[in-house]
Amino acid sequence: MGEFWVFGYGSLMWRPGFPFRTRAPALLSGYHRSLCVLSHVHRGTPERPGLVLGLDRGGRCKGIAFEVAAGDHEPTLAYLREREMANYVYREAMVPVRLLDGSGRVVRALAYVVDRAHPQYAGPRGLDDTVRLVAQGHGKSGPNPDYVHATHAALMDLGVVDRRLKAVVERLGR
């Protein structure tokens, strides 16, 4: 199967959940990180949805690229499909990402891109509505605010300032 890379831009950065050989900061062009997905499973319920990140069209997104060893390709893909495709709000895409490890190498990586036609696509929202949805969300993976705080911390560790996510974190408090 050759090289297999996975691009993480949200919880995959801080909780990949699969074995990997290497990890490197990486840049994806053509998509941006956005709190644009109503969560009905991991960080909310259909009655009280949370709000999680998706890769939406346009812009650029810095995240983490994980290289998966040859023997782990199939189990990793099965794990990711179970985790990311619970409601099919994402679609799998092989995207070119530039490794920011000093090599400048471009690799093709699996990424989960939001499907704008899906009913759980929330699109851009005002700050008040975003904070309300995040604050109320709690699903099988835990409280939605924990997810937002952990992702913000992972981005800070990467040296990424996401002003929108920072504003949500500040409004949520601890």
* Interacting residues of 135 by C-beta distance below 8 A, sequence separation 6+: 144, 145, 172
The question of whether 84 is a catalytic residue gets the answer yes
Pairing of strands 50-68, 142-143: unpaired
Joined tokens for residue 24: 């490197």
Pairing of strands 4-8, 106-114: parallel
How far apart (Å, rounded) are the C-alpha atoms in residues 10 and 8? 6
CB burial class (10 A; 0-12, 13-18, 19+) of residue 161?
exposed
Instruction: Give me the catalytic one of 67, 84, 92, 170.
Output: 84
- List residues with catalytic annotation: 84
